[in-house]
Amino acid sequence: QQPVQSPQAVILREGEDAVINCSSSKALYSVHWYRQKHGEAPVFLMILLKGGEQKGHEKISASFNEKKQQSSLYLTASQLSYSGTYFCGTENNAGNMLTFGGGTRLMVKP
């Protein structure tokens, strides 16, 4: 079953923060986050494994709460380059297929 992302869309001013959530109805083994620019392929951001580990690089970080079957992506001090659609992909066992959410469209304005 497809994970649910919220919000579906968000508009920010440069420098503002945003949180994107990803929820699953199944127990999760890992959560992957990707960003896609219009007409391009998704680009990997980070992967979170079971254990509630929080990861991040620069001003983008994420958390994973396996008990709640949820992950959140945190974008701080957003830049124009952060604009795009963010997808979470979930694995619910140690198999090798990802199920992607419907995406969150993020637009950062000057």
Partner 1 sequence: DGGITQSPKYLFRKEGQNVTLSCEQNLNHDAMYWYRQDPGQGLRLIYYSQIVNDFQKGDIAEGYSVSREKKESFPLTVTSAQKNPTAFYLCASRDGPLYEQYFGPGTRLTVT
The answer to whether the CB of 3 falls within 8 A of the CB of 101 is: yes
What are 16's two structure tokens?
């503002």
What are 68's two structure tokens?
């709640």
DSSP per-residue codes, 2-16: --EEE-SEEEEETT-
Within 8 A by CB and 6+ apart from 13, the residues are: 108, 109, 110
Minimum Å distance from CB 35 to partner 1? 11
Minimum Å distance from CB 9 to partner 1? 10
Query: Whose Cβ is closer to partner 1: residue 27's or residue 43's?
Result: 43
Q: Summarize as ranges the residues that interact with partner 1 (CB under 8 A).
A: 2, 29-30, 32, 40-44, 47, 49, 87, 89, 91, 94-103
Query: Whose Cβ is closer to partner 1: residue 95's or residue 110's?
Result: 95
Query: Whose Cβ is closer to partner 1: residue 13's or residue 96's?
Result: 96
What are 82's two structure tokens?
């952060």
Residue 86 CA to residue 107 CA, distance in Å, equals 11
Minimum Å distance from CB 15 to partner 1? 27
Query: Whose Cβ is closer to partner 1: residue 52's or residue 102's?
Result: 102
Minimum Å distance from CB 45 to partner 1? 9
